[in-house]
Amino acid sequence: MRLPDDLYGDLVRSGPGAAAARRLGLPVPPRLRRHAPGQELLTGPALVLRVGAAPLAADVTAWLTGAGARVLDDLDAAGGERLGAVVVDATAARRVPDLARLRELLAPAFRRTARGGRVLVLGAVPAEAGGSAEDGGSAEDGGSDGTPEDFPGGFGDVEARSVQQGLEGLVRSLGKEARGGTTVNLLRVAEGAGAALRSPVEFLLSARAAFVSGQPLLVGPAPEPPPGPAPARERRVVVVTGAARGIGAAIAEVAARDGAHVVCADVAAAGEQLARVANRVRGSALPLDVTAPGAPRALAEHLRRRFGGADAVVHNAGVTRDRSFVNLDENAWDTVLGVNLDAPLRLTAELLRTGGALAPGARFVCLSSINGLAGARGQANYAASKAGLVGFVQALAAPLARRGMAANAVAPGFIETPMTASMPPLPREVGRRASSLQQGGMPVDVAEAVAWLASPGAGGVNGQVLRVDGQHLTGA
């Protein structure tokens, strides 16, 4: 696929253009380090910092060492070397002075991150951070300091939740201050997450997450797939709707690169293009209009008969019909809501009720949008559909967890696709630069996040929205 040119980015990153940009103080978007075969996880050593008891630091150190990284626990040990990653275990932070300790440890390390470095803060889930006897919280504080009775955990609970929520503001700010393609993210670790934390840590530190920054993400315990035989086949089966082009085609490529057989679904009119993508990824093509009345049944039967169940279903097919709200006619409304929201709902319901359409531990991933989270002028229909998908994965999370499954959404920001290439030049340039990474993302950036959420290791992430937007200024 020929992508639109980022002329400004190319100009200010090359010899004379770069010198002129420096002189004029113009922003120079960093070159992002993306996944390449055989690449090391990090570009330099990883520093693991501990705030207080830091119960996860030892596990993280062991995982990173296992992934081939050199792990340090003291900045001095880095000598003159730049850090590939800084991981801070702040899950035990409960008091305001713990944030001061975090600053003291992180500030000198933040300054020393390499180009394309990674900063990852591990926090607790604020609602779970209320004081416990071990951390000097509720047991001592409750009542003895004169706290009213309707604060059964004492005011220490309030402080603990405040401190943990404070980590989000810190991370979002550091994302905006980071330079050279360094990303900064927060993983909120729920009680009992255990080994389910490993995959999110590795993903966010890797080059696969080059366009993910300033994001909080919650990880909990991975659900157990229910007992029963898994389908006897070598490759995982991943279905991608709207796979004939754009982000869908990139998702098919990354899923196939990671070893899956990809069922590439798209409207019959996309026939030739769809066949080309399916051939390229050595998958199969499935002509399917997701809005057709028979589509849910056809897909469920295809997956049951042909594969013995899908391991992941990616609801990617999407359309826009932009117009101001008062000028939106019924057709523009129904088309967008029909493809983007109603079809994922109906397909998912049928797949869940058809025995054998889904493999044990199956994953759903929906393509939302930052415009769905923040709202956008002229996109009331699109935003309603894309925000609807957030409600969809949140509502699915608990019932799916009980079946050993998970559903999540990815919210792309400004991505260099034919869709954004067709925007008028000025809004396109503004949209492209209005993120901490000062550039548009590539379809592969979205595809990496989707493929990761569809992978077996990501089971601890459920009902979440992951923004892949270089920390765009649109919305939170």
Ligand X SMILES: NC(=O)c1ccc[n+]([C@@H]2O[C@H](COP(=O)([O-])OP(=O)(O)OC[C@H]3O[C@@H](n4cnc5c(N)ncnc54)[C@H](O)[C@@H]3O)[C@@H](O)[C@H]2O)c1
Does 289 engage in binding with ligand X (CB under 6 A)? yes
Number of CB atoms found within 10 A of residue 413's CB = 27
Q: Which span (7-15, 194-202, 252-260, 265-273) binds ligand X, by CB under 6 A? A: 265-273
Name the residue nearer to ligand X (CB basis): 237 or 415.
415
Q: How far is the CB of 50 from ligand X (least distance, A)?
A: 38
Distance (Å, whole) CA 337 – CA 380: 10
Does 367 engage in binding with ligand X (CB under 6 A)? yes
| One-letter amino acid for residue 22 of the chain | R
Tokens of 182: 């360094």
* Beta strand extents in 196-235 (DSSP E only): 216-219
Helix or strand holding residue 45 (H, E): none
**Which residues, 415 to 434, sit near ligand X by CB under 6 A?**
415, 417-420
Name the residue nearer to ligand X (CB basis): 189 or 336.
336
Tokens 């531990």 label which residue?
361
**Which residues, 291 to 350, sit near ligand X by CB under 6 A?**
291, 316-319, 339
Distance (Å, whole) CA 208 – CA 206: 5
Strands 406-412, 261-266: pairing kind: unpaired
Which of 8, 211, 382, 392 is the catalytic position?
382
Give the CA count within 13 Å in the CB-facing half-sphere of 19. Answer: 2
Helix or strand holding residue 402 (H, E): helix 380-402
Distance (Å, whole) CA 347 – CA 351: 6
Residue 382 known to be catalytic: yes
Specify whether the backbone of 33 is left (phi greater than 0), alpha (psi in -120 to 50) or beta. Answer: beta
Does 412 engage in binding with ligand X (CB under 6 A)? yes
Q: Which span (28-36, 100-108, 170-178, 282-290) binds ligand X, by CB under 6 A? A: 282-290
- Residue 58's contacts (CB-CB under 8 Å, 6 or more residues apart) are none
Contacting ligand X (CB under 6 A), which of 61, 241, 284, 436?
Answer: 241
Contacting ligand X (CB under 6 A), which of 147, 206, 348, 369?
Answer: 369
Does 284 engage in binding with ligand X (CB under 6 A)? no
Name the residue nearer to ligand X (CB basis): 88 or 383.
383
Name the residue nearer to ligand X (CB basis): 63 or 414.
414
Name the residue nearer to ligand X (CB basis): 41 or 419.
419
Q: Which span (42-50, 100-108, 137-145, 244-252) binds ligand X, by CB under 6 A? A: 244-252
Name the residue nearer to ligand X (CB basis): 319 or 473.
319
Tokens of 354: 């058809």
Core vs surface per residue 136-151: b (16+ CB within 10 A) or e = ebbeebbeeeebeeeb
Name the residue nearer to ligand X (CB basis): 394 or 420.
420
Does 71 engage in binding with ligand X (CB under 6 A)? no
Query: 9, 439 in Cβ contact below 8 A?
Result: yes
Q: In what order do the strands lie in the sheet with 237-241?
A: 284-287, 261-266, 237-241, 310-315, 358-367, 406-412, 465-468
Does 467 engage in binding with ligand X (CB under 6 A)? no
- Residue 9's contacts (CB-CB under 8 Å, 6 or more residues apart) are 29, 432, 439
Does 459 engage in binding with ligand X (CB under 6 A)? no
Q: How far is the CB of 250 from ligand X (least distance, A)?
A: 8
Q: How many of the chain's residues bind ligand X (CB under 6 A)?
A: 28
Does 266 engage in binding with ligand X (CB under 6 A)? yes
Does 246 engage in binding with ligand X (CB under 6 A)? yes
Q: How far is the CB of 320 from ligand X (least distance, A)?
A: 7
Distance (Å, whole) CA 42 – CA 69: 7
Does 204 engage in binding with ligand X (CB under 6 A)? no
Q: Which residues bind ligand X (CB under 6 A)?
A: 241-242, 244-248, 266-267, 270, 288-291, 316-319, 339, 367, 369, 412, 414-415, 417-420
Residues noted as catalytic? 382
